[in-house]
């Protein structure tokens, strides 16, 4: 598989995307792109922005299947780059949808994501 990138969303938003035939995060309208993370980044993002949230899933996306442009761009903090998708996410680029549950110690990378990232 090509480069694996991840997006955190809710199960409800994913089901709505499946019904619509494409996924558009609120950031697409507000900022012009959809935020993604590399597997080694996603836990920091989840702990910082999704603590206490329930019903989350990780969209596991094969970057080479994306229809919209993907750009690695520097974060607002300026110390790291993150993948940004400039358009809707085409559903055929999603290789897995994995439940993403927070424990008392924070989020952990699900085994399926680790397996996909190693392929």
Q: Which of the four pLDDT bands, split at 50, 70 and 90, describes residue 108? A: very high
What pLDDT was estimated at residue 109?
A: 93
Closest CA to 93 of 66, 59, 74: 66
Please provide the average confidence, as pLDDT, over all residues in the chain: 94
Count of domains in the chain? 1
**Which pTM value belongs to this model?**
0.94
- Does pLDDT of 1 surpass 60? no
Write the pLDDT tens digit of every residue in 50-85: 999 999 999 999 999 999 999 999 977 668 899 999
Domain extent for 47: 4-118
We report the CATH number of the domain holding residue 45 as 3.20.170.20
CA angle 82, 63, 74 (to 5 degrees): 15
What pLDDT was estimated at residue 31?
A: 94
């Amino acid at each position: 598989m090509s480069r694996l990138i991840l997006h955190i969303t809710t199960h409800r938003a994913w089901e709505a995307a499946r019904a619509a035939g494409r996924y558009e995060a609120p950031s697409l309208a507000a900022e012009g792109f959809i935020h993604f993370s590399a597997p080694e980044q996603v836990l920091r993002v989840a702990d910082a922005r999704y603590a206490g949230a329930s019903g989350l899933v990780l969209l596991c996306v094969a970057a080479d299947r994306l229809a919209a442009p993907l750009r690695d761009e520097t974060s607002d903090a300026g110390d790291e780059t993150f993948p940004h998708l400039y358009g809707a996410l085409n559903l055929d680029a999603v290789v897995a949808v994995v439940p993403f549950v927070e424990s008392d110690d924070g989020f952990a990378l699900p085994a399926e994501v680790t397996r996909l990232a190693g392929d």
